[in-house]
């Protein structure tokens, strides 16, 4: 029996790793999304307007140093992901930690091993 892992996701995402000095401002073309990041606070204002109603939502996300903010697309702008994202260098370093575990392991499962 061998130790196995789920294949690493190698999709590249554009974003920034924040610290207390990180600032950004973004507004989409139709001005329905405006975003600002300063002092580790990510503030987004979104306007949704139809023929029947108009709503404006302001969301503030309190970030910590080292968190990631990704650029999703021109329509949505930046997003704070739920999952943890790291730099490519950090991902390679994480894989280095487990490379020595690529060995045969004792079968602790009862039954036949094929």
Asked if the model's pLDDT at residue 63 lies above 90, the reply is yes
pLDDT at 108: 67
| pLDDT one-digit tens code per residue, 104-113 | 777 766 665 5
Q: Which of 84, 44, 52, 55 is nearest to 68 (CA)?
A: 84
Q: Are 69 and 19 in contact (CB under 8 A)?
A: no
**DSSP state for residue 75 in the 8-state scheme:** T
Give 85: exposed, middle or buried? Use CB within 10 Å, 0-12, 13-18, 19+.
Answer: middle
Mean pLDDT, the chain, rounded, equals: 91
CA distances in angstroms from 72 to 18, 77, 90, 114, listed in the order given:
16, 6, 21, 45
């Amino acid at each position: 029996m061998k130790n196995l892992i789920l294949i690493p996701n190698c999709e590249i995402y554009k974003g920034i790793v924040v610290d207390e000095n990180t600032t950004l401002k973004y507004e989409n073309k139709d001005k329905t999304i405006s975003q600002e990041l300063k002092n580790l606070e990510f503030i987004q204002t979104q306007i949704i307007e139809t023929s029947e109603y108009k709503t404006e939502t302001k969301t503030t996300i309190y970030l910590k140093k080292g968190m990631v903010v990704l650029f999703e697309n021109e329509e949505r702008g930046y997003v704070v992901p739920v999952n943890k994202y790291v730099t490519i260098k950090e991902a390679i370093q994480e894989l280095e930690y487990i490379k020595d575990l690529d060995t045969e392991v004792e079968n602790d499962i009862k039954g036949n091993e094929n």
